């Protein structure tokens, strides 16, 4: 019973998103379309378990939603006559069963509208989860640990801006894609990172943002199958997410990559991610984007039999590429970690010490601490760990750093037995 309810819920979320995309175009109003789909879903929840789902669920939801929108417009009676006529004139045929490519175009319109650069980054994320993933305002609020009223306000404001500022509901032209696609990919990646690093809140109640980001990334590969960066992003998410269960131990403490139980990684997901990286890199023909490079790095880690047997040369090379493409001290810090494995901790420490502006970043201090410890400079390592703790890291990271600190502190304590 629960299972079939889950399946129905899942079906309605996917097909509801498609119906919303088409209805927003047909009705010309995102809020009206959203209400209409909601109304249609209520009817579906009543009928489908009894009569079975229709052959074309999205088409059914679209037609039912359109009729519900007509009812609403009539009932409210406060829309302009022009609007009302526009809704009335949408022929059911047009909305009935849009062909595959029409649905694809409608979904693309919805994606690019929700991720329009004239909307704030938070609003883009919230709107995408609401419209493309079919999450409720309450679920999104809980996922981002903000009050529901705050999230509701954010969504209302974004939808108002879309209408009032006339943010268009259209697929950007090919020449506009390079400008517009990064904002879309950033939304998906932001959702993933939020889910990936989430350490507070009741995880049982929390919507799994990693799953939602994978859903969004898959949707993107469905509608933009030729974009290498779209494939690269999905690959990156699959490969990172494949390690999710081993990143913390049962009491919620961090487990380092070197200590993770690789047999428990999701190998089916790794295989899918690895295959996607290859396709993406082939498509980008020697000019890979940042997501592809990060995915390629994640693939190196995910397919390595052990930490020691990891292809650190390849990883270092990929970080070099990434540094050229997106120079940032954080990318360089990651490259330094690879350098430590390839050329030893002292070369890496030189690199790390030369990085500017990271003295408030706990991972910079933590990386230094690790390199110093490996060089036998335990007192310096302890100082770096204290500096890392002073940056107020998340609770699991703090516990990890404290464990490290007590280990080096023991080693440096006077009279202790040097190991």
Pick 166 or 204: Cβ nearer another protein: 166
3-state helix, strand, coil in the chain (%, to 5): 75, 0, 25
Report the alpha-carbon distance of residue 88 to residue 59 in Å, rounded: 18
Shortest separation between residue 362's beta carbon and another protein, angstroms: 29
Report the alpha-carbon distance of residue 95 to residue 18 in Å, rounded: 11
Q: Contact, 108 vs 223, CB < 8 A?
A: yes
CA distances from 231 to 78, 270, 272, 273 (A): 45, 14, 11, 9
Q: Contact, 345 vs 374, CB < 8 A?
A: yes
Shortest separation between residue 82's beta carbon and another protein, angstroms: 12
Pick 94 or 122: Cβ nearer another protein: 122
Shortest separation between residue 165's beta carbon and another protein, angstroms: 5
| DSSP code for 336 | H
From the centroid of its chain, how far is CA 132? 13
Pick 78 or 419: Cβ nearer another protein: 78
Pick 117 or 201: Cβ nearer another protein: 117
Residues lying near another protein in the complex (CB under 8 A): 116-120, 123, 157, 160-161, 164-168, 170, 179
**Which residue's structure tokens are 């999205």?**
58
Shortest separation between residue 105's beta carbon and another protein, angstroms: 17
From the centroid of its chain, how far is CA 57? 27
Nearest alpha-carbon partner for 366 in 413, 341, 400, 332: 400
Pick 49 or 168: Cβ nearer another protein: 168
Shortest separation between residue 30's beta carbon and another protein, angstroms: 14
Both structure tokens of 185: 């990919």
Both structure tokens of 61: 């939801």
R_g of the chain computed on alpha carbons: 25
Pick 157 or 244: Cβ nearer another protein: 157
Contacting residues for 142 by C-beta, under 8 A, at least 6 apart: 148, 201, 205, 206, 207
Pick 179 or 245: Cβ nearer another protein: 179
Shortest separation between residue 189's beta carbon and another protein, angstroms: 19
Shortest separation between residue 62's beta carbon and another protein, angstroms: 24
Q: Is 263 exposed, middle or buried (0-12, 13-18, 19+ CB in 10 A)?
A: exposed
Nearest alpha-carbon partner for 105 in 182, 234, 18: 18
First to last CA, the chain: 59
Pick 55 or 173: Cβ nearer another protein: 173
Shortest separation between residue 154's beta carbon and another protein, angstroms: 11
Pick 119 or 371: Cβ nearer another protein: 119
Shortest separation between residue 109's beta carbon and another protein, angstroms: 12
């Amino acid at each position: 019973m629960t299972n079939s309810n889950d399946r129905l819920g899942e079906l309605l979320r996917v097909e509801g998103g498609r119906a919303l995309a088409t209805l927003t175009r047909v009705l010309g109003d995102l809020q009206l379309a959203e209400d209409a789909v909601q109304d249609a879903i209520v009817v579906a929840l009543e009928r489908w378990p009894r009569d079975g789902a229709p052959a074309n669920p999205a088409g059914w939801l679209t037609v039912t939603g359109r009729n519900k929108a007509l009812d609403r417009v009539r009932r409210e009676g406060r829309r302009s006559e022009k609007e009302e006529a526009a809704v009335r004139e949408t022929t059911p045929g047009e909305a009935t069963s849009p062909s595959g490519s029409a649905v694809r175009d409608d979904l693309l319109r919805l994606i690019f509208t929700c991720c329009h650069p004239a909307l704030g980054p938070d609003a883009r994320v919230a709107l995408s989860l609401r419209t493309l993933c079919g999450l409720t305002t309450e679920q999104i609020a809980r996922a981002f640990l903000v009050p529901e009223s705050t999230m509701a306000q954010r969504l209302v404001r974004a939808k108002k801006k879309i209408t009032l500022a006339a943010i268009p509901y259209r697929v950007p032209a090919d020449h506009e894609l390079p400008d517009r696609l990064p904002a879309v990919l950033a939304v998906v990646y932001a959702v993933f990172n939020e889910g990936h690093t989430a350490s507070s809140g009741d995880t049982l109640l929390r919507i799994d943002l990693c799953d939602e980001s994978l859903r969004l990334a898959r949707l993107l590969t469905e509608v933009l199958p030729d974009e290498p960066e779209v494939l690269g992003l999905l690959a990156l998410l699959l490969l990172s997410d494949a390690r999710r269960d081993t990143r913390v131990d049962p009491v919620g403490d961090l487990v380092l990559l070197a200590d993770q139980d690789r047999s428990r990684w999701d190998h089916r997901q790794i295989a899918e991610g690895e295959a996607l990286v290859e396709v993406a890199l082939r498509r980008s023909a020697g000019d890979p984007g940042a997501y592809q490079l990060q995915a390629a790095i994640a693939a190196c880690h995910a397919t390595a039999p052990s930490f020691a047997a990891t292809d650190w040369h390849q990883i270092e090379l990929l970080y070099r590429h990434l540094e050229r493409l997106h120079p940032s001290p954080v990318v360089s810090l990651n490259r330094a970690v690879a350098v430590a494995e390839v050329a030893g901790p002292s070369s890496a420490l030189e690199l790390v010490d030369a990085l500017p502006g990271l003295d408030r970043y706990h991972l910079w201090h933590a990386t230094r601490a690790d390199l110093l410890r490996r060089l036998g400079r335990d007192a310096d390592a302890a100082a770096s760990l204290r500096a890392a703790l002073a940056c107020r890291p998340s609770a699991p990271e703090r516990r990890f750093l404290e464990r490290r600190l007590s280990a080096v502190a023991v080693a440096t304590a006077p009279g202790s037995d040097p190991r």
